[in-house]
Amino acid sequence: MAVETVRVLSPDRTCVQVDGLSGRRYTARDGVLHMTPRDAAALVKVGGVNPGLSGVTSARLGYRCPECAHGSFFKRCGKCGADCEKEGA
């Protein structure tokens, strides 16, 4: 039976090992610690961060405001209200 793990980023990038409340020592792989839910919750309380799960995107999918140069994924600029132009077009 697989043990459920939660991904957590260390509060300090120079910290590559963390001891959990369970007594288990976790070592970061590519800056990410894979921990039990209880240990992950404890690390988040003291400054750890849950990484975003959305992945990466491309600027070509968005829009750029010609008035204020604000980048957005919407046709209307959320900063100044002007109409944005397709990025990379």
* Residues 3-29 pLDDT 10s: 788 999 988 878 889 999 999 999 998
Check whether residue 39 and residue 68 sit in a common domain: no
Lowest mean pLDDT among 4-13, 21-30, 57-66, 78-87: 57-66
Query: Nearest-5° angle of CA 59, CA 69, CA 66?
Result: 100
Question: pLDDT of 30-43, one tens digit each?
Answer: 889 999 999 999 99
Strands (E), the chain: 6-9, 17-19, 25-27, 32-35, 63-64, 71-72, 85-86
Asked whether 25 and 36 are in contact (CB, 8 A), the reply is no
Check whether residue 10 and residue 41 sit in a common domain: yes
Tell me what pLDDT residue 43 has: 93
Tell me what pLDDT residue 57 has: 63
| Number of structural domains in the chain | 2
Per the document, the length of the chain is 89
Q: Does some domain include residue 66?
A: yes
Q: Does some domain include residue 41?
A: yes
Q: Does some domain include residue 32?
A: yes
Check whether residue 29 and residue 10 sit in a common domain: yes
Q: Does some domain include residue 50?
A: no
* Structural domain of 68: 56-89
Q: Does some domain include residue 36?
A: yes
